[in-house]
Amino acid sequence: MARQTRLTVPAIRAAKAAGERLTMVTAYDATFARLFDEAGVEILLVGDSLGMVVQGRETTLGVRLEDVIYHTSAVVRGSARAHVVADMPFLSYQASVEEAVRSAGRLLAEGGAQSVKLEGGRPFASTIARLVEVGIPVMGHVGLMPQRVHEMGGHRVQGRTEAEARRILDDARAVADAGAYAIVLEAIPMDLAAEITAAVPVPTIGIGAGPACDGQVLVGYDLLGLTPELRPRFVRRYAEWFEEGVRAARRFRDEVRAGLFPTPELAFGATPPPSAPVAVEAPAFGRDEPR
Ligand code: KIV
pLDDT tens sequence across 159-168 = 999 999 999 9
**Going from the N-terminus, what domains does the chain have, and what CATH number goes with each?**
9-223 (3.20.20.60)
DSSP state of 85: E
> Is 237 in contact with 225 (CB distance < 8 Å)?
yes
Amino acid at 99: E
DSSP state of 24: E
89 lines ligand 1 (CB under 6 A): no
220 lines ligand 1 (CB under 6 A): no
Q: How many CB atoms lie within 10 A of CB 41?
A: 25
From the list 186, 229, 240, 265, the catalytic residue is: 186
26 lines ligand 1 (CB under 6 A): yes
**In the predicted model, is pLDDT for residue 287 greater than 60?**
no
**In the predicted model, is pLDDT for residue 120 greater than 80?**
yes
pLDDT at residue number 232? 80
Q: What mean pLDDT comes out for the span 80-94? A: 98
Q: Which atom of ligand 1 is nearest to the CA of 26?
A: 3
How far, in Å, from the CA of 49 to the mean position of ligand 1?
Answer: 6
To test the pocket of ligand 1, the residue of 22, 207, 216, 227 to mutate (highest count of ligand atoms within 8 Å of its CB) is 207
- The DSSP-derived string for 226-256 is --TT---TT---S--HHHHHHHHHHHHHHHH
Active site residue 186: yes
> Is 192 in contact with 169 (CB distance < 8 Å)?
yes
**In the predicted model, is pLDDT for residue 281 greater than 60?**
no
Strand partners of residue 185: 142, 206
Burial class (CB in 10 A: 0-12, 13-18, 19+), 178: buried
Distance CA 138, CA 124 (A): 11
Q: How many CB atoms lie within 10 A of CB 86?
A: 31
**In the predicted model, is pLDDT for residue 228 greater than 90?**
no
How far, in Å, from the CA of 122 to the mean position of ligand 1?
Answer: 19
How far, in Å, from the CA of 87 to the mean position of ligand 1?
Answer: 8
**Highest averaged pLDDT of the listed ranges 232-236, 261-265, 268-272:** 261-265
> CA 215 → CA 23, 194, 197, 275, distances in Å?
6, 12, 10, 48
| Helix spans in 110-240 (H) | 125-133, 149-152, 162-177, 190-199, 220-223
183 lines ligand 1 (CB under 6 A): no
**In the predicted model, is pLDDT for residue 274 greater than 70?**
no
C-alpha angle with apex 43: 216 to 125, nearest 5 degrees? Answer: 80
- The DSSP-derived string for 94-135 is SS-HHHHHHHHHHHHHTT--SEEE--BSGGGHHHHHHHHHTT
How far, in Å, from the CA of 119 to the mean position of ligand 1?
Answer: 10
Kindly report the protein residue whose alpha carbon is nearest to atom 6 of ligand 1. 219
Q: What mean pLDDT comes out for the span 144-168? A: 96
47 lines ligand 1 (CB under 6 A): yes
Q: What mean pLDDT comes out for the span 51-59? A: 96
How far, in Å, from the CA of 25 to the mean position of ligand 1?
Answer: 9
How far, in Å, from the CA of 45 to the mean position of ligand 1?
Answer: 7
Q: Looking at per-residue confidence, does 173 or 234 come out higher?
A: 173
Q: Which atom of ligand 1 is nearest to the CA of 48?
A: 1
Distance CA 291, CA 286 (A): 13
> Is 200 in contact with 185 (CB distance < 8 Å)?
no
Q: How many CB atoms lie within 10 A of CB 217?
A: 24
Sign, CA dihedral 41-218-137-113, equals: negative
Spell 113-132 as b/e; 16+ CB within 10 A means b: bbbbbbbbbbebbebbbbbe
To test the pocket of ligand 1, the residue of 22, 26, 92 to mutate (highest count of ligand atoms within 8 Å of its CB) is 26
